[in-house]
Chain A
Amino acid sequence: MRRRSVFLFFLLPFLGVLAFFALSSVLTQADLKNRTAALVRDQLAATSGILGTTVAHFLDDGRSPEEALGAILSEEDLYFVALLDADKRVLAWNSRFEGYLPISLREAREGTSGIIDSPAGKIFSLLSAVTAADGRGYYLYLGYALTGMEEMIALSRRTSFLLAGLILLAGGLFFRGLFQLQSRYMTKSREAEAERLEKERFREVSAFTSGVAHEIKNPLNSLALVLELLGRKVPPEAKGDVDLGKAQVRTIARIVDRFSRVVKAVRPEIAPVALDDVLAQAAENLAAEVPGASSRLFVEAAPSVRLAGDRDLLVQALLNVLKNAIEASPDAPVRAGGRQAGKRIEIWVRDGGPGLAPEAAALVFEPFFTTKEKGMGIGLYLTKRIIEAHDGTIEARSLDGQGTEFRIELPGA
């Protein structure tokens, strides 16, 4: 699944949940406000009824309007109260705030209720009629607010914001994790695809090479036999030409064998091996193949270093690296050595040649890649296969003009 698709697949539902939560919060808060307002209005109506009866009772007892209002001072949620006569003139009033009695008597009618937005919060007001026993009419004007109502709504809003923040945080962490997982998955997929293509290419090359080698070997064997028989029958002056022909046939056979080795699966027989022995054997084989190489090759490895591997295959691998180094630096010495590094064995081969260009260093282990005129590009490729078959690694590092270093890591014994 592409990254964009993954994000749409997860992001859209997440955004949907967030939007649903936000909408739900807004509606819940609006509902809470409406319910609270309705509750306050009901409470105000009930309080007004009770206080009206109380005030009427005091007035009936002949108390003054101030005394009548003084009896209802203790009501905690009452912000202001006023007693008006039938002509709506204020007879007495009380307020929690100095001089604050927000009423427009020109417009007020019995039963008029309103919401006053004050710095102290929303105050619900109500003008209700009060009738004394003697028939005199009064009006009671009340300003009422539920203590803590604003705090309750603010708390609800804060809780919603907090929850939204937590959802966003959790979503952010989730998508960060998802992004990392997706990145890793994509990287591994690319690597797996590259490996699959490489194996497929190798199988095709192997099949082709095996077929060619098989087709060449049969006539080559016949040709070698014919040359052998011919060598016995030709006059002495022609014997040199026949020997040259036999040498060329051997060269062809050697090349075919090398190709055959490349396409064969590498199956090392693991056993404890001394590193100095492997290096010494590789150096000896190099001396046999490349005359004069031993005078420029310096090998240094502690005798106690032992690694787990197939001796013959490792000798072959190191021989290829040493041969490559000797050929890359015809006039400079080549140094090789190894040491124990924890549970691993490190082997290095350094030459004094011109070094590898960065693009060449990336391709040096590719099959059939070579910078030499007579090379076939299979030596280092075969080396890499042998090293990897031993659960090891090999890399080439080069600085222009300062030679090349091949570094091999193998498991210790």
Chain B
Amino acid sequence: MRWKAWLIPVLAALAAGPAAGQAPPGPASPGHYYDVDKEVRFEGTVREIVLEPRYKGAAPFLVLRVEESGRKAMVTVEISPSWFFGEDIHGGEKVKGVGSLAEGPDGTRTIIARELQFRGETLTLRDKRGFPSWQGGPKGRRGPKRFGGL
């Protein structure tokens, strides 16, 4: 199904409604973490944009369903908390980037994105070891004491 261009705020409102009513996901897959040994490059077209709770106690994440170029297979690309992603992104847009291949909370093939390129811009979402950029610098140490991944 081809998606028309959607603005992220509209999608956020659509996706956040059901997500907010859901209970936090059950124990996540042990493989759902940024594994430095499984870094891959991805490239494709955005087919779906959703906001999903990915980590326990964390804000909903922006998640893209991307149809990979050449493979015609769908892959889930985990981006960042929605508040951190300050760009508009539309269905049908070409994206590419670098991330770690992981198993999503729902067992699907997932890429935890470290860098995302679209419209000629590169967004850095994590450092080379997977430390999330939205956690900031030293102040992040005093940030919310939450654990995720279970």
Contact = CB atoms under 8 A, between A and B. Distances in A.
Contacts of B133: 119
Interface in A86-124: 89-106, 116, 118-121
Contacts of B107: none
Given A93-B149, A98-B55, A120-B141, A104 B36 contact: yes
Given A70-B150, A100-B130, A150 B138 contact: yes
Contacts of B147: 73, 94-96
B99 to A, nearest CB: 10
Contact of B32 (A73, A96, A99, A150): A99
B37 to A, nearest CB: 5
A98 B148 contact: yes
Interface string A139-180: 000000101001000000000000000000000000000000
Interface string A61-72: 000011001100
A99 B150 contact: no
B60 to A, nearest CB: 12
Given A66-B27, A90-B30, A97 B138 contact: no
Contacts of A90: 30-31, 33
Nearest to B58: A98
A254 to B, nearest CB: 98
A100 B30 contact: no
B55 to A, nearest CB: 4
Interface of B is mostly: loop
Interface string A341-384: 00000000000000000000000000000000000000000000
Of listed A76, A94, A150, residue having the most chain B CB within 10 A: A94
Contact of B33 (A69, A95, A104, A120): A95
B106 interface: no
B131 interface: yes
Interface of A is mostly: loop
Contacts of A65: 30
Given A104-B37, A119-B127, A120-B141, A93 B132 contact: no
A99 B27 contact: no
A116 B34 CA distance: 15
A301 B111 CA distance: 108
B127 A98 contact: no
Interface residues on B, range: 35 or more
B141 A101 contact: no
B127 A99 contact: no
Of listed B137, B138, B140, B147, residue having the most chain A CB within 10 A: B147
B150 A118 contact: no
Interface in A33-50: none
Contacts of A93: 30, 33, 149-150
Contacts of A150: 138, 141
B96 interface: no
Contacts of A102: 34, 36, 129-131
B150 to A, nearest CB: 6
Contacts of A120: 131, 135, 137-138, 140-141
Contacts of A118: 127, 129, 131
A99 B141 contact: no
B146 interface: yes
B33 A119 contact: no
Contacts of A116: 129
A91 B132 contact: no
Nearest to B30: A90
Contacts of A96: 145-147
A97 B36 contact: no
B141 A121 contact: yes
Interface in B1-39: 27, 30-37
B50 interface: no
A147 B141 CA distance: 8
Given A90-B33, A105-B37, A145-B141, 20 more contacts: A70-B150, A92-B30, A94-B148, A94-B149, A95-B147, A96-B145, A97-B132, A99-B34, A99-B112, A99-B132, A99-B149, A100-B33, A100-B132, A101-B34, A101-B130, A118-B129, A119-B136, A119-B140, A120-B140, A120-B141
Closest 3 CB pairs of A and B: A102-B129, A101-B33, A94-B147
30 contacts: A92-B27, A93-B33, A93-B150, A94-B150, A95-B148, A95-B149, A97-B131, A97-B132, A98-B54, A98-B81, A98-B132, A98-B148, A99-B54, A99-B148, A102-B34, A102-B129, A103-B36, A104-B37, A106-B37, A116-B129, A118-B127, A118-B129, A119-B127, A119-B136, A119-B138, A120-B135, A120-B138, A120-B140, A121-B141, A145-B141
